[in-house]
Amino acid sequence: MTYETITVKPLAGALGAEIGGVDLSKPLSNQEVEEIHRAFLDHCAIYIRGQELGGDDLLRYARYFAEPAFYPFAEGLPEFPQIFELRKEPDQLKNVGGRWHSDTTYLDKPPIGTMLYAREVPAYGGDTMVANQYLAYETLSVGMQRMLDGLTGIYSAGADRTGREENKNMKMRDTDKTEQYVAEHPVVRTHPETGRKALYVNTEHTIRFKGMTAEESLPLIEFLQVHCTRPEFTARIRWEKGTVGIWDNRCVQHFAINDYHGQRRVMWRLPVGAELPA
């Protein structure tokens, strides 16, 4: 596809693209918005470098995709409650998001996208991996596709093993209520804009399949997680200060790599949209 107002440089064969020619500190034209949205749908995860943004700027950019949402277990910034800070200090060993997952699948209406803005990055490390779940579904056998098309997953916040409570720099809330967040979603969801099918299951939040026990479900969940993140389905976003990224949670899993001990990393995170998977 051709673009007139932006440049689009693919990151990997599976997904991801770097967008150029955009200044997010100013409102975008209708054509810029349309082309960025098209790149988002085509590449599943996009990022723009060299941006100097405040909270208002980030919220304005998010609204080009969907209305900003809230994360249930973290306090947002005082002036921008939908934006919260992810900060790992040099003395910390654990990070948030250090397992493959799609964000907050335990909500009835999970966010369609996750936006991150790099405020401070380590000299090396701290990348984010993303994995294309369209390809994960499309490369399964016809028999496996047929079986999964009829399955419903049970997703729970209580199954989260990322060490959320151990992140002493996040202002947490309601962490004693994680067991109350349980949702049912199709294991194979159809993207409402592209019409493509994507796997929607992960070992971080999927606890079992409806009508099956956890013990019966676990081998298939684990098989699918390994399959979902095969190297040829992935790409690696290398953050620089001022990079803004957003990926499509409807067809992408992600993994925050924890390989920068002794260094500081500060990101603003913003859930975007709330949509019932179908």
Convert the pLDDT of each residue in 242-278 to its tens digit.
999 999 999 999 999 999 999 999 999 999 999 999 9
Identify the weakest region by mean pLDDT among 45-54, 110-119, 145-154, 178-187: 178-187
Q: Spot the catalytic one: 43, 87, 101, 205.
A: 101
pLDDT value, residue 166: 47
Q: Is 103 a catalytic residue?
A: yes
Residues above pLDDT 70, as percent of the chain: 93
Q: Does domain 7-272 have CATH number 3.60.130.10?
A: yes
Question: Taking 60 as the threshold, does the pLDDT of residue 106 lie above it?
Answer: yes
pLDDT value, residue 173: 59
pLDDT value, residue 180: 85
Distance between CA atoms of residues 155 and 46, nearest Å: 27
Q: Spot the catalytic one: 99, 189, 205, 254.
A: 254
pLDDT value, residue 162: 45
pLDDT value, residue 71: 86
Question: Taking 50 as the threshold, does the pLDDT of residue 28 lie above it?
Answer: yes
pLDDT band per the 50, 70, 90 thresholds, residue 30: very high
8 Å CB contact between 170 and 74: yes
pLDDT higher for 271 or 164?
Answer: 271
Nearest partner of 96 among 126, 132, 54, 130, judged by Cα:
126
Q: Is 269 a catalytic residue?
A: yes
pLDDT band per the 50, 70, 90 thresholds, residue 39: very high
pLDDT value, residue 165: 41
Residue linked to tokens 């064969």: 13
In sequence order, what are the residues at sequence separation of 6 or more whose Cβ sits closer than 8 angstroms to the Cβ of residue 205?
Answer: 101, 102, 104, 105, 106, 155, 156, 157, 159, 160
Average pLDDT, the chain: 94
Q: Is 191 a catalytic residue?
A: no
Q: Is 208 a catalytic residue?
A: no
DSSP, collapsed to helix, strand or coil, labels residue 43 as helix
pLDDT tens per residue across span 169-227: 666 655 666 778 999 999 999 999 999 999 999 999 999 999 999 999 999 999 999 99
Q: Spot the catalytic one: 57, 103, 160, 248.
A: 103
Distance between CA atoms of residues 261 and 123, nearest Å: 11
Q: Spot the catalytic one: 185, 191, 250, 269.
A: 269
